[in-house]
Amino acid sequence: KLHEFRLATKHFRYLLELFRPIYGPKLDSYVEQLRKVQTLLGDLNDFAVTREIVETGPEASSGDSQRAIAFLTKREEKKRAEFRDYWKTE
């Protein structure tokens, strides 16, 4: 769901950018906020996808894979918290 939301923010940002000539710099802060949301959600998606690849790979039960999964899960949780904090404050 978050990945779908990221794509929707991307399309909305592109739409806002079309109106920059009309509204000028007033839109810049909104565009930058959307860009930040996209970046956070993109990072979050990267961790989730990478973790899923490792979890379903042929060596998923190996010690190295389990450590990688734990690392990715921790980073994903941290990025999710960062997104929530940004969302609440901005």
CA distance 65 to 71: 10
Query: Pick from 51, 27, 36, 49: which is nearest to 85 by CA?
Result: 36
Q: How far apart are CA 54 and CA 37, in angstroms?
A: 26
The answer, yes or no, to whether residue 1 has pLDDT greater than 90, is no
What local confidence, expressed as pLDDT, does residue 54 receive?
87
Longest dimension (CA), the chain: 57
**How confident is the model over 13-18, as a mean pLDDT?**
92
CA quadruple 68, 71, 77, 82: dihedral, nearest 10: -120
Q: What share of the chain is helix, strand, coil (3-state, %, to 5)?
A: 90, 0, 10
Residues 17-76 have pLDDT tens digits of: 999 889 888 899 899 999 999 999 999 999 889 988 888 888 878 888 888 999 999 999
Taking the complete model, does pTM exceed 0.75, yes or no? yes
